[in-house]
Amino acid sequence: MNVTRKLFGMMVLAVGMLFAADAALAQQDNLIDTIKKRGKLQVGFASFLPWAIRDKQGNWVGFEIDVSTRLAKDMGVELELMPTAWDGIIPSLIAGKFDVIIGGLTVTPARKEQADFTDAYSQSGQGIAASKQLAADLKYPEGYNDAKVTFTCRRGAAPCKTIEEKWPKATIRQFDDDAIAFQEVINGNAHAILTSEPKPTFFTLQNPDKLFKPTGDNVTTSVEGFALRKGNPAAVAYFNDWIGKNKDWLKQRHTYWFKTRDWAASVPAS
């Protein structure tokens, strides 16, 4: 009799766990309904220029803020911005502290194991800025693959490896800080620098008499997507539809924040 009761109890427990799991999955799958009932979209992000920064009045501005603001407006809800330390942003998403990450999060295989991603809504990557004094006559990209050509990069960062792969004959000088690496090119002590965009664009805009961009394309490219907790297919589909309908607007806002410095006067010196 005791054995029978134990087996029955285990069966009841197993069925209860299945129902609980199904309920949790249904709740996740209804994330959009949950957001609309709450009347608020909770967005996790980290502070990086020009993705998300404080302006001189202390308000959050930036590309990701524009995206989040428009998305919330189109959903008919308020926006709750939830700044989060970068190294804890995915764990915070998984813990349910906000609905979605809209924060320049590059889609990678490792991250896709932790979260679900939407289609790409923006692109980033590594860019190049070159010295007008030394590199004006170099043909891009083949002219840069020469032992007489010197690149700078931040020590230990991915661009140093990219230089080795794409321009194996070039000389590489590594520095502990991007600003110092840029200054070497500005001073005419190196031909070019490779680093993450939008730094090459911004330094070129700030030093138009010293620097130029031999190509408008990124040397390497990565894509960013909204990140959601696992098990939200309906929400992913909803956001993918929104991204698809707003491609032109997203491109326009990305150009404003990443290809110009028209916004620079509104934020503390950067």
Q: Give yes or no: residues 39 and 102 share one domain.
A: yes
Average pLDDT score over residue span 204-208? 98
At residue 32, the pLDDT reads 96
User: Does 108 share its domain with 240?
Assistant: yes
Shared domain check, 93 and 53: yes
Rounded to 5°, the CA angle 130-131-135 comes to 85
Residue 3 lies in a domain: no
pLDDT in tens, 41-70: 999 999 999 999 999 999 999 999 999 999
Asked if the model's pLDDT at residue 110 lies above 80, the reply is yes
Please check whether residues 76 and 114 belong to one and the same domain: yes
Residue 269 is predicted with a pLDDT of 80
Are 29 and 116 part of one and the same domain? Answer: yes
> What confidence score (pLDDT) does residue 11 get?
46
Q: What phi and psi, each to the nearest 5 degrees, are found at residue 249?
A: -65, -40
- Same domain assignment for residues 80 and 113: yes
Q: What is the pLDDT of residue 212?
A: 98
Strand locations in 162-259, DSSP E?
Answer: 171-175, 192-196, 211-212, 220-224, 227-228
Residue 8 lies in a domain: no
Whether the predicted pLDDT of 14 surpasses 90: no
Is 17 domain-assigned?
no
Is 243 part of any domain?
Answer: yes
CB 123 within 8 A of CB 188: no
Give the pLDDT band of residue 15 (cuts 50, 70, 90). Answer: very low
Q: Are residues 51 and 170 in the same domain?
A: no
Residue 10 lies in a domain: no
Do 29 and 159 reside in the same domain of the chain?
no
Same domain, 54 and 168: no
Answer yes or no: is pLDDT of 19 > 70.
Answer: no
Average pLDDT of the residues of the chain: 91
Distance CA 67, CA 38 (A): 20
Q: Is residue 2 in some structural domain?
A: no
Same domain (yes/no): 216, 101: no
Summarize the confidence of residues 193-199 as an average pLDDT: 97
Claim to verify: residue 229 and residue 207 sit in the same structural domain: no
Total domain count, the chain: 2
Does 5 map to a domain? no
Contacts of 223 (CB under 8 A, 6+ apart): 106, 107, 120, 122, 123, 124
Please tell me whether the overall predicted TM-score, pTM, comes out greater than 0.75 for this model: yes
pLDDT digits (tens, 9 = 90+) for 152-177: 999 999 999 999 999 999 999 999 99
| 234 pLDDT more than 70 | yes
Q: For residue 2, give the amino acid letter.
A: N
30 confidence band (pLDDT: 50, 70, 90): confident
DSSP 113-165: TTSEE-S--EEEEEEEEEEHHHHTTPPTTGGG-STT-EEEEETTSHHHHHHHH
Domain CATH for 104: 3.40.190.10
Question: Which residues contact residue 66 at a Cβ distance below 8 angstroms, ignoring those fewer than 6 apart?
Answer: 253, 257
23 has pLDDT over 50: no
Do both 66 and 146 map to the same domain?
no
Within-domain flag for 250: yes
Query: What is the extent of the structural domain holding 158?
Result: 125-221
